[in-house]
Amino acid sequence: MKKIVRKVQVKNPMGLHTRPATAIVKLLQNTKCSVKFTYKKTTINAKSILSILILAAQKNSKITITAEGDDAVDTVEKLVEAFECEFGERA
């Protein structure tokens, strides 16, 4: 089983609030792999909106993405791209 680990930076001015959390969950809903986010000392299931919101990651926070499973590579690439594009919120 493949395991991919990447670090990303939250670029959204409001941090990981409801809209980006919803975008993340939508992006992950058809993936086979397990995806976890680690921020500070907390690790959560990235397929859960509530868990993402509990992280309370502010702008410029560094999050570690860990994906395990058959489609881990593709999934992490899509997530990194989504973080880079601020989940479509960039003005």
Nearest to 16 by CA among 50, 41, 66: 50
Q: What is the pLDDT of residues 41-88, one digit of tens each?
A: 999 999 999 999 999 999 999 999 999 999 999 999 999 999 999 998
Q: What is the pLDDT of residues 3-52, one digit of tens each?
A: 999 999 999 999 999 999 999 999 999 999 999 999 999 999 999 999 99
CB 66 within 8 A of CB 11: no
Counting every residue written for the chain, the total comes to 91
CB 13 within 8 A of CB 87: no
Which of the residues 6, 11, 15, 17 is marked catalytic? 17
In order of their start, the domains of the chain are 3-88 (3.30.1340.10)
28 is catalytic: no
**Burial 54-65, CB ≥16 within 10 A → b, else e:** ebebeeebebeb
pTM score? 0.94
Q: What are phi and psi of 64, to 5 degrees?
A: -100, 125
